[in-house]
Structure 1
Amino acid sequence: MLKDSRNGYGLIAIVIHWVSAVLILFLFGLGIYMTGLSYYDDWYHKGPELHVSLGLVVLLIMLVRIVWRIINPTPVDLADKRVQNLAAKLVKLGLYAFIFIVLATGYLITTAEGQPASMFNLIKFPVLTELSSQNVDLAGTLHEYLAWGIVILVVLHAAGALLHHFILRDRTLVRMIKPVKKTDFL
């Protein structure tokens, strides 16, 4: 099924989740790789263009994700303990917050000199404000540290999913891999 239910996630939520995860982790790796490039490396200009384009794709996916979460029911928590459910919600909230802040700072860095952000030269995202060099540095620092924060939260998120699957033996991980069946709606 495409839609979510109280018992599990549908195909759309699952695809959004995994595509976001792969893109975000790729962007992190590309960002780390780019910091070691010299002016004469082939990827000195290609890397940032790809990084910005994929970052804008993630922004659009995250906006769709928020809308999808608003119009679909949230599956019920499977953990018996409230503290586990609270920890999962805090990690998820942290991921959302860090991702949006990293996207915003990336956008601000990209458009700091008055040029729009381009997604694969197909869509131009307009400049909302220009930044001073001091504010670009601040945005860059936030961008880097919160990107590392995303990786840390992803590790916690994955560890929690594996804990649920192998120790608690519930369906938390399975329902983010396998879409809910039509019979689960009844």
Structure 2
Amino acid sequence: MLKDATTGYGLLTILLHWVSALLIFFLFGLGIYMTGLDYYSEWYHKGPALHVSLGLILLLLMVVRIVWRLVNKKPAALPNHSRTTLFLATLVKYLLYGLILIVIASGYLITTAEGKPASLFDIIHFPVITQLDTTNVDRAGLVHELLAWAIVIVAALHALAALVHHFVIRDQTLVRMLKPIKKMPPADEQSSPGNSR
């Protein structure tokens, strides 16, 4: 089932979640790799171009995720989830969203500092809104780096919590983000004698 329901997540939510996660960790690894490149390296220019393009794809995915959540049902909490658990889960989600958007924004400002648009594989060009001077580019670079580390740390803690729920608490928290809900049978079939047990 594509859409979410009160019983679990649909295919689109699950795909958006895991594709975004893979992109974030790949971008982080690529960013670390780029810091060790010298001018004569083949990836000295290829790496940043790929980093920018994938960062813009992540931006588009984040927009889709936010819109999808606004127009889509939110699955009900599992019975064993306490108010504290729900609060922490919500806090981590919004923290990750905020950090990701700030890192993307800072990356965009760094990329467009010379007056050139940010390019998504030379297909879509994101125009220059404002140009930073040298001092502010350095500040944006520091924000970009520090908050990228923050994203990875928070995401790792998020993954650890999911594993604890799966292997220690043994609930459906992780499973719901791995298996999309199946299409519900029509209401008349659910209430028919053959289906009541």
Question: Which TM-score band applies after superposition, normalised by the shorter structure?
Answer: over 0.9
Query: In 2 relative to 1, CA 116–83 (structure 1 residues): closer, same or farther, beyond 3 Å?
Result: same
Work out the CA distance in 1 between the residues paired with 2:136 and 2:50.
23
Q: How many residues align?
A: 186
**2:111 pairs with 1:119:** no
Is the 8 Å Cα contact of residues 14 and 177 (structure 1) preserved in structure 2? yes
Alignment match, 1:58: 58
Percent identity over the alignment is 63
Partner of 1:9: 9
Check conservation: 1:23, 1:58, Cα contact below 8 A: yes
Q: What are the ranges of 5 or more consecutive residues in structure 2 without an aligned counterpart?
A: 188-197
* Residue aligned with 2:184, SS: helix
Determine helix, strand or coil for the equivalent of 1:105: helix
In structure 2, the CA distance between the partners of 1:55 and 1:184, relative to structure 1 (3 Å rule), is farther
Q: TM-score, normalised by structure 1?
A: 0.97
CA pair 149-185 structure 1, distance change in 2 beyond 3 A? farther
Equivalent position of 2:150 in the other structure: 149
Instruction: Tell me the equivalent position of 2:85.
Output: 84
The more displaced of 77-86 and 142-151 is 77-86
Q: Report how far residue 181 of structure 1 moved.
A: 1.4
- Separation (CA, whole Å) in 1 of partners of 2:3 and 2:144: 33
Alignment RMSD = 1.3
Contact 1:91 1:156 in 2 (8 A): no
Q: CA deviation at 1:56?
A: 0.3
Contact 1:108–1:131 (8 Å) recurs in 2:
yes
Q: For the residues of structure 2 that align with 1:185 and 1:144, how far apart are their CA atoms? A: 51
**After TM superposition, where is structure 1 displaced by more than 3 Å over at least 4 residues in a row?**
none
The SS at the match of 1:183 is coil
Q: Give the unaligned 5+ runs of structure 1.
A: none
Is 1:130 matched with 2:131?
A: yes
- Report the structure number with the largest CA radius of gyration: 2
* 1:107 aligns to 2:108 (yes or no): yes
Show the 5 A alignment for 1:2-81. 2-78=2-78, 79-81=80-82
The CA distance in 2 between the partners of 1:100 and 1:48, in whole Å, is: 19
1:182 aligned counterpart, secondary structure: coil
Q: SS at the partner of 1:124?
A: strand
Contact 1:109–1:136 under 8 Å retained in 2: yes
CA displacement, residues 19-52 of structure 1 (integer Å, 9 cap, x when unaligned): 1000110000000000011111110000000000
**TM-score calculated relative to the size of structure 2:** 0.91
Shift of 1:89: 1.1
The change in CA–CA distance for 1:135 and 1:184 in structure 2 (over 3 A counts) is: farther
